[in-house]
Amino acid sequence: MCPMTDGAATPDANNHELTIGICGAGIGGLVLALRLAKLGFRPNLFEARSREAALSEGEFLTLAPNGMNGLRAVDCCDEVLRAGLETKAIALCNARGRRLALVDQSDHRSTFGAPSVTVKRGTLTRILIEQCEARGIAVQFDRRISGVESRIHSVSLSFLDAASLSVGLLVAADGLRSQVRSQVFPDFPAPHFTGLIGAGGIVDADIPATDGLMRMTFGEKAFFGYIKTASYPVYWFNSFAADNPDMVRGMDPHDLADRIREMHADDPFPNAAILQEVERVERSYPIFDMPPLPTWSKGRVVLLGDAAHAIGPHAGQGASMAIEDALVLSSCLAETIDHSDAFARYEALRRPRIERVVKLTRQNASRKRKSTRLGLLLRDLLLPLLLPLGIRMGRKLFAYRADLEALGPGGIDRAGQKIRQDAA
Ligand SMILES: Cc1cc2nc3c(=O)[nH]c(=O)nc-3n(C[C@H](O)[C@H](O)[C@H](O)COP(=O)(O)OP(=O)(O)OC[C@H]3O[C@@H](n4cnc5c(N)ncnc54)[C@H](O)[C@@H]3O)c2cc1C
């Protein structure tokens, strides 16, 4: 048993005097640390992976305008914009290559204040970590939290191979399979498998650039998407139906590449040509959903991002929701002396928005599942009619500015005021 050192907890101190431990230096945890530090708190981040593993994550994700605006609040928006690809439109095609719909996103920058951006996960993480390091925020890598004990005035954390310590508050930003959640809330439902697995990567392929267009195909066997600009390789992803989440787990990366190639062999050009260049697919991602949790906090522990509300990738909002959660939680902590009030306000502000995103995500996911010939025909006919509704829902999500009004329109928000002053 490792000895216990005390990281800070002062009985009955107000929030600013507490050390705030964050479990997980993923997107949500890093943004939270940056924002808390800006607001005068002392965050302390614990990440299970090594620094190298976090930075070398190869896949990519697309950040919606609301997520990009959220990054502005921690001074990372411009750098992510420079490092990523502006995603100006999405084309949805059927298995024969017929375009069913085109979602124009070229006005995102002028309408919402930021464009949609596709960026490598490792690059996004590097930008956030370097910003933390530049601000002197402690990010401790190779530190997997293995035990959590919530006490009256502190939370005690234990690690597999380091001394235990205590923090004033603990934010669980440790993702879908949150260990903190399962320890603090052992009776909460586990995430359930949605029946889809995702994969993807970045590869050089000699195909025409799409100039900011993300082209997606509802293939006969699986869903495929890619984007390519002239000076960049191809960013591709797919998702396919599976009976269980372990269907391709542990598969040799060459065999997995072959399997995915086979799924898209009959797709319209250039899907097969892209996959021809893919030698290995290192990872696949079974996609999980989580039933709404009864509460997001208990005592001095609060859940954030995927740990609180896993959202599948089908609406491209999971990372943006983690970013928004981070901004709202930090504003609530800054506005209220009592952490219980802050946690309650955070949850009340976030739940309705998360519910809207979950609804949109489920709608989009249902179109990617395997179907009968008749089902596919109906989808091809109905999609162009139904899509405008989905687009309207999506655009409502993009319009929210958590960087300016984390506490809602008219909410007193010191953090938002500070950003406005800095920008003036
Ligand atoms: C296939 C796929 C594609 C996706 N595409 C998109 C997309 O295009 N756009 C989008 O917005 N979202 C997308 N998402 C969703 C998005 O990735 C997540 O919503 C987002 O990463 C959640 O961020 P987070 O910080 O809550 O958790 P995570 O990013 O999962 O971070 C959790 C962190 O906690 C660490 N950790 C875990 N356990 C411990 C522990 N015990 N101790 C210390 N550290 C720990 C992990 O190592 C990790 O670094 C996609 C998801 C999938 C599966």
pLDDT in tens, the chain (424 residues): 333 333 443 344 566 678 999 999 999 999 999 999 999 999 999 999 999 999 998 789 999 999 999 999 999 999 999 999 999 999 999 999 999 889 999 999 999 999 999 999 999 999 999 999 999 998 999 999 999 999 999 999 999 888 999 999 999 999 999 999 999 999 999 999 989 999 999 999 999 999 999 999 999 899 999 999 887 899 999 999 999 999 999 999 999 999 999 999 999 999 999 999 999 999 899 999 888 999 999 999 999 999 999 887 778 899 999 999 999 999 999 998 899 999 999 999 999 999 989 888 777 666 656 667 777 777 777 777 777 777 888 898 899 999 888 887 665 555 555 555 555 5
| Residue closest to 416 by CA, chosen among 304, 331, 329 | 331
Which atom of ligand 1 is least distant from the CA of 176?
30
Q: Quote the tokens at residue 395.
A: 């655009």
Residues 217 and 176 occupy one common structural domain: no
Question: Among 288, 318, 338, where does a domain finish?
Answer: 288
Query: CATH number for the domain including 208?
Result: 3.30.9.30
Which pairing describes strands 85-86 and 19-23: parallel, antiparallel, or unpaired? unpaired
Please check whether residues 162 and 229 belong to one and the same domain: no
338 inside domain: yes
Tell me if 208 sits within 8 A of 227, measured CB to CB. Answer: no
151 shares a domain with 48: yes
- Give the residue carrying structure tokens 């709608």: 363
Specify whether 78 is located in the same domain as 171: yes
**Same domain as 40, residue 61:** yes
> Any idea what DSSP says for residue 15?
G
Q: Which of 250, 272, 288 corresponds to the end of one domain?
A: 288
Query: Is residue 74 assigned to a domain?
Result: yes
Q: Are residues 330 and 416 in the same domain?
A: yes
Nearest alpha-carbon partner for 75 in 45, 35, 117, 124? 35
In a domain, 255, yes or no: yes
CA-closest candidate to residue 197, choices 365, 394, 65, 356: 365
For ligand 1, mutation pick of 306, 317, 368 (most atoms within 8 Å of CB): 306
* One domain, residues 67 and 176: yes
Local structure of residue 148 (DSSP, 8 states): E
Number of domains in the chain: 2
**Same domain? 187 vs 224:** no
Report the 10 Å Cβ neighbour count for 420.
12
Asked if the structure places residue 116 within a domain, the reply is no
> What is the per-residue pLDDT for 406?
87
Q: What is the pLDDT of residue 11?
A: 40
Cis link prior to 388 (omega < 30° from 0)? no
Q: Based on the domain organization, do 219 and 263 belong to the same domain?
A: yes
How many whole angstroms from 50 Cα to the centroid of ligand 1? 15
Cα(38)–Cα(241) distance, integer angstroms: 44
Contacts of 141 (CB under 8 A, 6+ apart): 25, 47, 49, 50, 51, 54
Q: Which helix H or strand E contains 287, and what residues bound it? A: strand 285-289
Taking the centre of ligand 1 as the mean of its atom positions, its distance from the CA of residue 384, in whole angstroms, is 31
For residue 149, CA distances in Å to 25, 79, 344 come to 20, 38, 21
Choose the final residue of a domain: 229, 263, 288: 288
User: Which domain, by its residues, includes 39?
Assistant: 16-83+121-191+293-369+411-423
User: Which of these, 394, 407, 328, 408, lies nearest to 111 by C-alpha position?
Assistant: 394
Strand order in the sheet with 42-46: 138-140, 42-46, 19-23, 169-172, 301-303, 297-298
Under DSSP, the state recorded for 26 is S
**From ligand 1's centre to the CA of 164, what distance in Å?**
25
**CB-defined site of ligand 1, < 6 Å:** 23-29, 46-49, 61-63, 144-145, 173-175, 179, 198, 285, 287, 305-307, 311, 313, 316-320, 322
Q: What is the CATH number of the domain that holds 46?
A: 3.50.50.60
